[in-house]
Amino acid sequence: MGGGWRMNNANSNNQRSGNLINAQNLKFLRAEYETYRMQQLLHTLNTVGTALLTEADDKKFEDLLLESMARLALCMDVDRINIWRNEAKDGDLCCTMQYGWFNEIGRKWAHFQPGDAFPYDSKEIEYVRNKNGNISHGQKNSEFLKGKIVNDSLSSMSREKREGMERYGIKSILIIPVFLGNSLCSITTFDDCHKNRAFTDDEIDTMRSASLLIAHAIQRSNKTQDVPAVAAEFETATANYAGVILSVDRSDVITLFNGLRVDRFGMEPASVVDRRIDDVFHESQYLETVLKIRKAFTDGTQNWMAAINGAVLRMCAVPVCDDGGCVTSVVCSIDDVTEMVNFQVELTSTLKSALEKANLANSAKNKFLARMSYEMRAPLNAIIGLSELAFDNDKLNPESLAIIEKVFNAGMSLLDTVNDLLDISKNEADTPRPVPGNTTSQALSAKRLYR
């Protein structure tokens, strides 16, 4: 029995040793597998990044992006990847799905479509706005705005969140906000629909890099796609400009010459572009124009007028700077203002002539009033003076005195009116206003005059 017990004990020890070795081997294998998996994930990230950032054909970009999302999903062992664009709609900050990829497992459940948009305070999105209009995640507002991620599984969620996740078949989710500069640009979500899990720190760091890379690639693609449309609009605008648009780079090479009045220069745009400004505008009448354009590179905006080929042209040269503030080119607008200048000259001449005629008429009026001063005032003074003398006649009855009083008052009123008219012109005619004398002596003179 003793020997049997020792044999069983030895077998038991051997078994425990074997289990320990197997556990260590399993741990080693798992670590080795994770290392291999991360190598594959990094390799995929490099491949995806190179492809997205070097693809020149915009028509192939979306297909390439979906293929890249499929590669990342395979390495991450997730069933769905969505890219959401952060934008404002009708005054509300929204989360709008831009691109989505899913495998067969992800396809079985409800899923979003590109263009689906939800305000951040909707039930579909667990993020809400705070009072300042920023994006917040419950009480983790500051962490989220700093770029913190959400790493959650169905088993650790509250009932309210669990119900929302179950609708889309999500058992684990990784949400990565992407910031370009200081602004939230987009959100990338990784959905695992077949198991509860917590994404590792290595997975999170790698997917954060992937999300940022994809955001830059999308932004680059959008700008590239906008270039043809913007170029077409610019070409149409310059071709239909009422004057001429001229652009010169730092090498003195003309990069643009277009507009409805290029005929003023007797040149076709095709014969001017890509040539040095000295070679095109070498005549003396263009000397000031060339000097002003060059001066705009160093001294800023220049405005001037010039007479060229019998036309009066108004010109404005404006420097164009890059993001660093360095002047890269000068754009010069040239407008034909010949008709406007001729009209101004004609209008000035007409106004001058009209003013001279008005001055002559006013001078004649003033001289007339000044000349008529004595002729108008002498009879009035006689009437007023005789009326005043009549008041001293005791033989007149009350009725006659009332009549004489009316004559006197009317004469005084008319004299005031005449004096007001003379005041208007006395300064311009340099004729002093006569000072009223003694009405009695004037009346006596008038009595002798009209006797």
Cα dihedral 44/49/51/57 (nearest 10): 150
Task: Output phi, psi for 158, to 5 deg.
Answer: -70, 165
Cα–Cα distance, 234 to 259 (Å, whole number): 12
Residues 56-72 as b or e (16 or more Cβ within 10 Å = b): eeeeebeebbeebbebb
Q: Which superfamily, per CATH, for 31-224?
A: GAF domain (3.30.450.40)
pLDDT at res. 449: 37
The 10s digit of each residue's pLDDT in 98-157 is 899 999 988 888 878 888 887 765 555 543 333 333 443 333 344 555 667 889 888 888
The 10s digit of each residue's pLDDT in 375-386 is 777 788 888 888
Q: Same topology for domains 31-224 and 237-336, yes or no?
A: yes
Cα–Cα distance, 403 to 390 (Å, whole number): 11
Alpha helices in 240-318 (DSSP H): 269-272, 277-280, 287-299
* CATH code at 237-336: 3.30.450.20
Both tokens of residue 340?
């406007």
- Each domain of the chain, given as residue ranges in start order, spans 31-224, 237-336, 357-449
Q: What strands lie across the sheet with 327-336, from one edge to the other? A: 254-258, 244-249, 327-336, 311-321, 302-308
The 10s digit of each residue's pLDDT in 35-75 is 767 677 777 777 777 777 666 566 688 888 888 889 888 88
Answer yes or no: pTM beyond 0.85. no
Both tokens of residue 55?
């693809």
